[in-house]
Amino acid sequence: MKTPTAAARVAALSQLFDDTVALYLRLSADAAAIHRAGDLSGPRRTLMVALARSGPHTVAHLARARAQARQRLQPLVNRLLAEGLLEARPNPVHLQSPLIALTARGERAVTQILSLEDRLRARLRPKSAVRSVRLASKVLRDVRETLEQQLPGLLREGRRTSRRRHRR
């Protein structure tokens, strides 16, 4: 099998990124429509489901996982704490950074969210076979992990190159 050219790889990644952004925007709009009655925005839903799936974490860890600054995520966490959906727990590793966890009320909310979403997903009939959907998920995970591992170095390299050009 022939190795794809750099141009073919760039074109394929560009299309994947465009389709992923379009899907993200669609999912955000759909989440707003689905959860409108429960006053649960996409970011609130995403954060609470992440905590349900991965357990308690610091705000800094949650922000890194979302590729956001901690300061940007903190107001959302504060609102969910005030509403009694999240709680701050002592962190034995870092006394000044508590672990953020779902309360019992937050866990019930996530159970309701996922139940509703699963009922809706069960009614979807994508054209692609289940095997293809699983492969697409694997590809997206691989690309995300590649970006997490390689992009910071590529950005540093690009900044160094840019500074050298400007000095000339």
23-125 folds as Arc Repressor Mutant, subunit A (1.10.10)
Convert the pLDDT of each residue in 14-44 to its tens digit.
999 999 999 988 988 888 788 765 556 778 8
From the CB of residue 24, how many other CB atoms can be counted at a distance below 10 Å?
Answer: 11
Split at pLDDT 50, 70, 90, the class of 7 is: very high
Domain residue extents for the chain: 23-125, 128-160
Convert the pLDDT of each residue in 59-74 to its tens digit.
999 999 888 999 999 9
Q: CB under 8 Å to 55, separation ≥6 — which residues?
A: 101
What's the predicted TM-score (pTM) here? Answer: 0.75
